[in-house]
Amino acid sequence: MVEAHSINAEHKDLIHDVAFDYYGERMATCSTDQFVKVWDQDEQGNWNLTASWKAHSGSVWKVTWAHPEFGQVIATCSFDRTAAIWEEIMGESNENGTLLRHWVRRANLVDSRTSVTDVKFGPKSFGLILATCSADGVMRIYEAPDAMNLAQWPLQHEVSLKVPSSCLTWNPLLSNFRTPNAMIAVGSDDNSNTSNSKVFICEYNEVSRRWAKTESVASVAHPVHDMIFAPNMGRSFYLLAIATNNVRILKLKPILNYNFLHSDATSGFPYTIETAAQFNDHFCTVWRVAWNITGTVLASSGDDGCVRLWKSTVDAWKCVGVLKRDGKLPQPQSKKTQSTAQNNLTRFFKLGQITHPSEVHWH
């Protein structure tokens, strides 16, 4: 049986987020123990702890990397109602002559009066811009006017969504032609009400120069724990993966025959939202979702303790793999099983011991 590589994270409590930098060479983790840790990958592919510090006075929910163009910068957000910007600087060298790097807090964003649940840097083309959302349902946009001065993060916009927000994601626009406006999707994990929408689309309006909520996605009514836009990679539509009571993939398709160049920028760009895929295989709550670099395969984790992988094919999305949380990996499929499983689009790898009663029957 193949095993996944294991890292002892050395956090004293539950790890809430893992984030990779632009190149995938560095990794940051954050935890209930209020610490943030940074890991660097060596040539052999092993991850080594290079920094660890107490970042907040409450659980640290999320950590995210800025584009390396702005330096080695991460942002964190916490239950302690703040978000923080950290930059790695060169410290003193030790006896061996190796340089010590350490992280300093450049800014503390204290506008929220409740737990800050997510923080994400915007696409590089917008400059050094940061969005946060908080448990009181406010989405905030901060912008560093001077990329050299990470201490200044004036609050630029506030959008009140009026429901507890749990996660946000920027639409990773590459070109300004197709979608003139910046777009953020915000999710809510409010579980008191199962009829209201839990996914909101906010857009920046070039004319009024304001962010505003432009859309509520009615089809998602269960608490949303994580959302992420797929890297666009030239596709004619945008994919939004949602972790809610199931794995949901929404397709935002710009309406064709619409002249983006000559349209007035007030209304943003018109698009339709449809559900591209929906999977209940995690059986219960889905916690996190993540796309690969091309936005063609989605990974999700859920209450069944599995990481499941979903791939789009010409006509549909299908499950292409299941990894047990303990990293027991499937053996490469033997020829025998391949021939018998031909009718079954879903490949389910039985991975050693199954400790969960519900996970076997649901694929």
Partner 1 sequence: MFVSRGDVPKLEVQWSPVHKNKFITWGPDIRMYEVINTTISDGSKSSDTPKGLVLSSDTAANLLATSTNHRYVKCIDIYPKPESEIMLAIGHANGKVTFCTFGLATVNNTLAGLELGPNSRFSRQCNAIAWNPVNYNLLACGLDRHRSDQCVQVWDVEKSPLINAELSPGKPFFDYGTGETAHSLAWFNSSPHVLAVSCNSKNIRCIDIRDASKSTNVTQTRAVYGINIAVYNNNHIVSYCDNSIVLWDSRHLEKPVVTLTQSKSVSKVQWCPTRHNLLGSLQKDTMAISLHDMQQSMDEAEPSALERTVHPGQGNIHLASFSWHPTHENRLLAISQTGVLNDYFVFERMTLNWSTKSNIAWTYGQHNLKYISDKDLVYSSFEDISTTIKMRAFSQYGIKDFAENAKLVDDPIIKNVWNWLDLNRKVTRAGLVPTTPNVPFPGIKTVLGLDSGSPMPKSELKHVQWVDIQGTVKTYRSSARDNALFLCDWGFDRNNALHISALLRKLENENSHTRAASIAIFNFKNACYSPDKYSMWRELCSRTREKLTDPFLRAAFAFLTSETESHDAVLNEVGIPLEDRIAFASIFLSDIKLTEYINTITDKLLDQGNLTAIFLTGSSPDVVPLLQRYLDSTGDIQTVSILVLKTIPSEIVHENAVMMSWINSYREMLNQWRMWHIRAKFDIALKAVKPPPQNVFLSCNYCGKNICPAADEKEKENEKETKVLKVKDQTENGSNNFKFTSCPNCQSPLPRCALCLAHLGTASAKVPLRKTSGKQLTSNSSYVLTGQSVNSFSYWFSWCPTCNHGGHSNHISDWFKNHLECPVADCVCRCYSLDSTSRYCSV
Which of the residues 287 through 346 are near partner 1 (CB under 8 A)? 287-288, 290-297, 299-305, 307, 309, 311-314, 320-321, 323, 325-327, 329-330, 332-333
19 near partner 1 (CB under 8 A)? yes
Token pair of 315 as six digits: 């006509």
Which residues have CB under 8 Å from 53's CB, separation 6+? Answer: 35, 36, 102, 103
The residue among 80 and 281 lying less far from partner 1, judged by its C-beta, is 80
Pairwise CA distance, residues 32 & 272, whole Å? 39
Pairwise CA distance, residues 138 & 117, whole Å? 10
Q: Which of 197, 205, 285, 346 binds partner 1 (CB under 8 A)?
A: 285
Residues 217-256 that bind partner 1 (CB under 8 A): 231-237
Site string for partner 1, 143-182 (x = CB under 8 A): -------------------------------xx-xx----
Residues 185-224 that bind partner 1 (CB under 8 A): 191-192
- State the minimum distance, in angstroms, from the CB of residue 241 to partner 1: 11
Say if residues 103 and 53 touch (Cβ distance below 8 Å). Answer: yes
The residue among 157 and 303 lying less far from partner 1, judged by its C-beta, is 303
Strand order in the sheet with 183-188: 165-170, 183-188, 199-205, 210-217
Closest CA to 203 of 191, 192, 216, 193: 216
- State the minimum distance, in angstroms, from the CB of residue 209 to partner 1: 24
Sign of the Cα torsion 321, 325, 331, 337 reads negative
Residues 74-113 that bind partner 1 (CB under 8 A): 78-81, 88, 90, 93, 97, 99
Pairwise CA distance, residues 103 & 67, whole Å? 16
Residues 107-146 that bind partner 1 (CB under 8 A): 115, 135
How many amino acids of this chain bind partner 1 (CB under 8 A)?
Answer: 105
Token pair 């209940």 in the structure block, residue: 280
